[in-house]
Amino acid sequence: MVERLAVHWGADVSLARRAAWLHDITKEMPYEEQLQLIDEHGIILTGTQRSKKIIHAFSGSVLAWRKFDEPEEVCGAIRWHTTARRGMTLLEKIIWLADLTEEGRDFSGVSKIRDLAFKSLTDALIMGFDTTLSVLISRGSEIDANMIEARNFEIAGKLKGTEDEKNRFKQ
């Protein structure tokens, strides 16, 4: 999925491959070690980001940089692969979507998101955010503010596009 998406959207395939390979690199690392890595790097996490499901994205980005000397694009894609963020780069979008829809995921709508990812990254992201947020809400889980901002950003971009289209036809 990652490589196909990278080729399809013109992203750097080797960086995409590296980010995909490394994105969960600290998932099995003891929690305290992850916290230490992040602290040493000067990243300040919110309470929500300190949750076990999210923290590995932050610690993973630090380790990818320290241990493998990965470039900023790869570290960013690792850092935002769980929460997403406002104004993601192309590589960050691809890694977020590929992680959400990776083989073995069978939540309702997953195949629609996979298809959409090759048609419109914006639409795929919005559907991905909506699906993820519904699941988090139904479980009574916390929601990282970055995901809300990421969703607002993509929706605003889409509306702006629509507005521009409308204006274009008025002239």
Instruction: Name the site residues for Fe ion (rule: CB under 5 A).
Output: 24
Identify which of residues 52 and 166 has a Cβ nearer to Fe ion in the complex: 52
Q: Which residue is nearest to Fe ion (CB)?
A: 24
Shortest Cβ distance from residue 152 to Fe ion (Å)? 23
- For Fe ion, the closer of residues 15 and 22 by Cβ is 22
- C-beta of 38: minimal distance to Fe ion in Å? 15
In whole angstroms, the minimum distance from the beta carbon of 105 to Fe ion comes to 12
Report the 3 state secondary structure along the chain. Answer: CHHHHHHHHCCCHHHHHHHHHHCCCCCCCCHHHHHHHHHHCCCCCCCHHHCHHHHHHHHHHHHHHHHHCCCHHHHHHHHCCCCCCCCCCHHHHHHHHHHHCCCCCCCCCHHHHHHHCCCCHHHHHHHHHHHHHHHHHHCCCCCCHHHHHHHHHHHHHHHHHHHHHHHHHHC
* CB of 96 or CB of 117, closer to Fe ion: 96
The CB-of-166 to Fe ion minimum distance in angstroms stands at 39
Smallest gap, in angstroms, from Cβ of residue 169 to Fe ion? 43
Nearer to Fe ion, 50 or 158 (CB): 50
Q: Which is nearer to Fe ion, 3 or 24 (CB)?
A: 24
